[in-house]
Structures are given as C-alpha cells and as structure tokens.
Amino acid sequence: MALQGKKLINNPDDVVTEFIEGLVETYPGLQYLDGFPQIKVVLRADVERGSYDKVAVISGGGSGHEPAHAGFVGPGMLTAAVSGDVFASPPVDSILAAIRAVTGPMGCLLIVKNYTGDRLNFGLAAEQAKSEGYKMEMVIVGDDCALPPPRGIAGRRGLAGTILVHKVAGAAADAGLSLAEVAAEAKHASEVVGTMGVALSVCTLPGQVTSDRLGPRQMELGLGIHGEPGVAVVELQTVDVVVEHVLKQILSQETQYLPITRGCNAVLLVNGLGATPIMELMIAARKAVPELQLVYGIAVDRVYTGTLMTSLDMAGLSITIMKSDESVLKRLDAPTKAPAWPVGSEGKRPPAKFPVPLPPSPSMKDDEILAPSQELSKQRCILEAAIEASATAIINVKDSLNEWDSKVGDGDCGTTMYRGATAILEDMKKRYPMDDAAGTINEIGATIRRVMGGTSGILYDILCKAAYASLKQSSTVTANEWADALEASVAAVSKYGGASAGYRTMLDALIPASAVLKQRLEAGDDPVTAFVASSEAASAGAESTKQMQAKAGRSSYIAPDLLASIPDPGAMAAAAWYRAAALAVKNKLHGSKS
C-alpha cells in the first residue's frame, strides 16, 4: 500500500523557492533573481550584469537533484543555475533571465542534460538570446551507460557525470578562454564520461505518496534521476557485487560508450542519490578503485565521493567514470568556491536577493491584452465554453495522470497539466482576447509556457504557436480553418519534439483526431458531428498506447513489459481536453450548424 511521504516542508508548491532562499542565506557568494515567482535562478553574487569579462557558464534543469545545480554556482564552476519545478525542466523565460543577468561580451555556454524538455527549453532560450545579440553555445551531456544503444530520438540520459563537465567548463571559463574554447573543452568532457545508477528505494515527490514499486529485498539497476523505473529489478546484492556489475556495464566494449581501455587513466565519482549514508558511499569507493586498477588496468587519478546529484530522498548511488589526461586534471584541480564541490565560502554577506527586470514579450502589449471586447460574440461564447471544459477536464484527471506517470515516468504529469489548466482558467478572466480566436490560442501558449515547464509545457506552447500562425489571418474562424490549425499544430510538435504516430506520446491522440476531423469535413459532415467524431478518435488513440513500446520521452528508458496495459499519460491528457472541448461545443450549439 502506498503511503503519504514524510517531508520537512511547508507547501509542496513552494519547496524550490524556499530551498533557494535557504541556499543563498547559507552561502554569501550566491544570490538569486527576485521578483518573478516562476523564475528560480541562482547566480554568483560577484558578477555584475552585462559587464562580466569571462564566458558565462549556465546549467540547470528540474529541481529535486540538490545540491545540483545551484550548489555548483561559484567562481571556477557555474556562473548561474536555473531551476525548474521538481523534475520539470525550467521554462524558457527563466533561462533567458539567467542569460541576461550574467552574460557579458565573452558570451555564454549552456550545459544541458539530455532530456527532451531541457533540450527544447534551453535550445529555444539560446535562440532567443542570439536574436538579442548574445553569443551562445550549448553542450548536451548524455552520460547514461545503463541502456544499450540505440536509444531512438531520446538518446542517453544526463546523469551525475554532468557535474564533472560543469567543473571542466567552469575552470576553462575562469582561465579566460574564449567561448569556442570553453565549449570545446566541455564537449570533450561530455564525450569521455559515463554513469550508471542503482537504487534501493523509490523517491517521494513533495506532497505525493511513496511508490511501492520496490519490495523490501529488491533493488533497481540502471535508473534515471527522476524516479522513473530502471532497466531491471533484482534481488538485493552486496555492494561489492553491485560495483562490479556497474563498472562492467560502464566499461563494456560491446556498447563502447567510453573510449577507455586498459592502460588509460580515469577519474572516479561515487555519488549518493539522496538518502545514502556516506559510510555506504565510501564502501563502494573502496571497492571501485582497486577493481578499476587490478581488473581493468585503469589508473585512477582522482576519486570524488559524496552527494552531488540526487533524486530527492532516493536510497542508492551512481558511479561515474571520466577518462582523464593532464588537461582534464588541470580543470578538475583548479580552485572553485562553488559550495557543493565542496569548498568553504569567504567574504562579506551581500543582500540575498536583488531584482532583475524581465523584458516583456515583444509579441504582446498590455493594452492589446487587456482591451475589452466590443460584444459577446457567438464565437466568444463557444470558445469560452470549450476552454473552460478542457481545463476542467484536465483538473479532474490529475490524480489518474499522476498514477499512470508514476509507473511509466516521473509521476508528475497530472500535477504539471493541472498547473497549466488552473492558470488558463485564471488568465482567461483577465488576459485573453476572447473575440480573437487566434490571439486567444497564442495567449494560452504563453500561459502554459509560463507555468508548466518541462517537456509538456514547451510542446504545448509549440502547439499553440503553430495554431496561432495558421489562424491569425481570420477574424471569424471556420471549421475547416480549425482543422487546418490542428493539422499544423500536430506537424509542429512532431517536427520539434521528434515523435510521430506510434511513439507513445500525446500525438497518438492528436494525430488520429486531426485525420478524422479532416476526413469528416471533406465528406461534408456537420462540423459539430465531425468534431465529436474526431474526439472519439483521440480517445481511441490514447487507449491504443497501452500496447505501444515507447520511442520518445522518459518512457523510452523503461522495459516494454513495465509499460504493458498502462496508457501514455500525455496521450490520455490530450484526449481528455480534446473530448471535453468537443462536447462543450456540441452542447453550446445544441446540434446547430457552425
């Protein structure tokens, strides 16, 4: 039976902000951007905006991995770290705020763990920053060695080896190297590092129940850092056996994930996942070092043991191996004041917070957003009913989405979608130009981008932006134009997210919905009847994901037998809001022609 997890927290929704507040109060060398609730950025207190004369190095991702990433901000490592909500990629606006706050004429390097949401959000932020005149580079770290290739479009996950890449890049930047040189050293480090994790327990998200996936005598091999299931569940083994297995996997000559052979030198990192005593980590290190030297003929230059990149309160560890040479060791040995490396912090305590203004979106003006409509048109009534019904449907399925996602992902799909739905209902009252269908869809995308974060947030924003581009030329939108907009949205999500039909994503609901809507309208069906029929196709498509093997997202890391009979949460969410919208339109029009 799953039990409510015990946490020393206040409101589960405030844990990330309150963690950052405690961090900057503890370490006087750190500050955070204040004034925007969704922007959670920690930066060096000694870097003045716009005048920093070295390459800025920024990383980040979902929270829950503390002390990563904010704990590695400081001279010699990161210039800033961007935090999303727990296990959710930070939104684009947060990343842009960090870039603007610390980047000077030398430019900025983004170091990103290989997760779809992180790649999309950091990538979009980099493109926007380039358009503003900033020099930008981005390095993706995928150091997971637990899963055999190929990994489809998802690729290898970014794990604790990312910390070593932070150190190499940060030291190179601190030495005064150019952006191209810093990026080259970071990329090289990312290509010679490998990691594998082992868990004894499942982590508990703030405010949620603890999964009972692992029995009392079981352990999980090859897990990620978001609570998702690993490669295999096995009987509990001694730490010596575990270390032997992990090293064998990382150094496998079949996968050749690392260019390390007998006679090479390496750095070893033994990392705790959140609830592992230092005693157990040291026991693992005690086995790993002679195993590398005597069995594999690898000289161990440095050993780092501690809790650096966690998965909340998970019991377990990960082992990272990085091929080393004189240049890598020079960067790893360079001094740093990043508190979690760890080193001591010195200096006078500056104010913990200071505000940095965030430029408004160039596509919107306040008077345009808040301008009252001239009349409550028919289109407005239908649009309001559809949006309200869709958001309410997502709110109602929150718990089911979380339950499915806890079995095939990181357990927060319902919470993330709920956050977007409630914000849409709130913004609809005061922001949306409801007489302008295209403008309203564009504003919905802005709302989602602001509050949701993660992969789903950026993909839904892309969906809305594509629909807006398709609809913006029409004042009163016809059924055929809605169908064209849906088709354009599906194509955009597929293009940028990399998925298509059968990949076990939300597109498995939206693709059949789009196809049926087009077919019915072309056949001359009543638009409302066509819309309802397409919603049934969306529901059927979502249900069909129970029999699919995942080819995208975090589910692609999970064994197929663990996915059987469990629908994709993203597809079920899409089907829920789409069907609710269709029924709302049908009820509003009472079967009349649209």
| pLDDT tens-digit readout, 316-364 | 999 999 999 999 999 999 999 999 996 544 444 456 555 655 544 444 4
Distance CA 257, CA 245 (A): 16
CA 361 → CA 37, 92, 93, distances in Å? 17, 12, 10
Two structure tokens written together for 344: 């001591």
Two structure tokens written together for 337: 């004041």
Two structure tokens written together for 179: 């952006």
Query: How does residue 554 score in pLDDT terms, banded at 50, 70 and 90?
Result: low
Range with the poorest average pLDDT among 12-16, 32-36, 296-300, 492-496: 32-36
Residue 4 belongs to a domain = no
Question: C-alpha 470: how far from its chain's center?
Answer: 28
Map residue 363 onto helix, strand or coil.
Answer: coil
Helix H or strand E segment including 546: none
Distance CA 71, CA 542 (A): 40
Question: Are residues 329 and 391 located together in one domain of the fold?
Answer: no
Q: Provide the mean pLDDT of the chain.
A: 88
Residue 2's pLDDT is what?
52
Dihedral sign, Cα of residue 590, residue 591, residue 593, residue 594: positive
Residue 2 belongs to a domain = no
Question: Are residues 32 and 139 located together in one domain of the fold?
Answer: yes
Decide if pLDDT at 375 tops 60.
no
Residue 37's pLDDT is what?
59
Q: What is the DSSP string of 117-144?
A: HHHHHHHHHHHHHHHTT--EEEEEE--B
Helix H or strand E segment including 450: helix 437-451
Residue 427 assigned as binding residue: no
| Phi and psi angles of residue 503, each rounded to the nearest 5 degrees, phi first | -90, -5
User: Looking at residue 263, what DSSP letter applies?
Assistant: T
**Containing structural domain, residue 413:** 378-591
Residue 64 belongs to a domain = yes
Residues in the chain: 594
Residue where a domain stops, chosen among 333, 355, 387: 333
Residue 44 belongs to a domain = yes
Distance CA 325, CA 185 (A): 12
Distance CA 406, CA 468 (A): 33
- CB proximity list for 216: less than 8 A, separation 6 or greater: none
Distance CA 71, CA 73 (A): 6
Residue 352's pLDDT is what?
59
Decide if pLDDT at 3 tops 60.
no
Tens of pLDDT along 16-36?
999 999 999 999 999 998 655
Its pTM stands at: 0.80
Residue 165's pLDDT is what?
98
Question: Are residues 385 and 280 located together in one domain of the fold?
Answer: no
Distance CA 118, CA 91 (A): 9
Residue 101 belongs to a domain = yes
Please say whether the beta carbons of 383 and 581 come within 8 A: no
Decide if pLDDT at 405 tops 90.
no
Question: Are residues 252 and 398 located together in one domain of the fold?
Answer: no
Question: Are residues 498 and 570 located together in one domain of the fold?
Answer: yes
- CB proximity list for 590: less than 8 A, separation 6 or greater: none
Residue where a domain stops, chosen among 333, 367, 400: 333
Say whether the peptide bond before residue 342 is cis (omega within 30 degrees of 0): yes
Name the residue with tokens 């839904």: 460
Query: What is the C-alpha end-to-end distance of the chain, expressed in Å?
Result: 50
Residue 85 assigned as binding residue: no
Dihedral sign, Cα of residue 344, residue 349, residue 355, residue 356: negative
Q: Residue 552, class by beta-carbon neighbours within 10 Å (0-12 exposed, 13-18 middle, 19+ buried)?
A: buried
Residue 245's pLDDT is what?
96
Q: What is the DSSP string of 176-240?
A: T--HHHHHHHHHHHHHTEEEEEEESS----TTSEEP--S-TTEEEES--SSS---SEEEE---HH
Residue 69 assigned as binding residue: no
CATH number at residue 575: 1.25.40.340
Residue 284's pLDDT is what?
97
Tens of pLDDT along 440-491?
999 999 999 888 877 888 899 999 999 999 998 777 788 999 999 999 999 9
Tens of pLDDT along 164-194?
999 999 999 999 999 999 999 999 999 999 9
Tens of pLDDT along 261-270?
999 999 999 9
pLDDT average, residue stretch 113-122: 93
Tens of pLDDT along 59-71?
999 999 999 999 9
Question: Are residues 181 and 51 located together in one domain of the fold?
Answer: yes
Residue type, 104: G
Which alpha helices (DSSP H) does 192-312 contain, by range? 239-250, 278-290
Tens of pLDDT along 513-539?
999 999 999 999 999 999 999 999 999
Residue where a domain stops, chosen among 278, 300, 333: 333
Bridge partners (DSSP) of residue 91 are none
Residue 230 assigned as binding residue: no
Please say whether the beta carbons of 452 and 460 come within 8 A: yes
Two structure tokens written together for 259: 């260019």
CATH number at residue 288: 3.40.50.10440
Question: Are residues 24 and 86 located together in one domain of the fold?
Answer: yes
Q: Which of 101-110, 375-384, 565-574 has the highest mean pLDDT?
A: 101-110
Residue 490's pLDDT is what?
94
Residue 226 falls in the annotated catalytic set: yes
CB-hemisphere CA count at 13 Å for 394? 26
Distance CA 250, CA 507 (A): 34
Radius of gyration of the chain (CA): 25
Helix H or strand E segment including 113: strand 108-113
Q: Which of 128-137, 199-208, 369-378, 554-563 has the highest mean pLDDT?
A: 128-137
| Phi and psi angles of residue 319, each rounded to the nearest 5 degrees, phi first | -120, 130
Residue 549's pLDDT is what?
83
- The residue annotated as part of the active site, out of 69, 166, 188, 226, is 226
Tens of pLDDT along 220-272?
998 888 877 788 899 999 999 999 999 999 999 888 889 999 999 999 999 99
Two structure tokens written together for 584: 């709302």
pLDDT above 70 as % of the chain: 90
Question: Are residues 296 and 383 located together in one domain of the fold?
Answer: no
Cα–Cα–Cα angle for 399, 397, 471, rounded to 5 degrees: 135
Residue 357's pLDDT is what?
55
Question: Are residues 52 and 110 located together in one domain of the fold?
Answer: yes
pLDDT above 90 as % of the chain: 68
Residue 65 assigned as binding residue: yes
**Of residues 550 and 335, more confidently modeled:** 335
Please say whether the beta carbons of 415 and 406 come within 8 A: no
Question: Are residues 28 and 166 located together in one domain of the fold?
Answer: yes
Decide if pLDDT at 91 tops 80.
yes
Distance CA 582, CA 531 (A): 6
Residue 287 belongs to a domain = yes
Residue 408 belongs to a domain = yes
Please say whether the beta carbons of 171 and 144 come within 8 A: no
Residue 323 assigned as binding residue: no
**Of residues 505 and 149, more confidently modeled:** 505
Question: Are residues 310 and 410 located together in one domain of the fold?
Answer: no
Residue 370 belongs to a domain = no
Q: Please state the domain count of the chain.
A: 2
Question: Are residues 144 and 197 located together in one domain of the fold?
Answer: yes
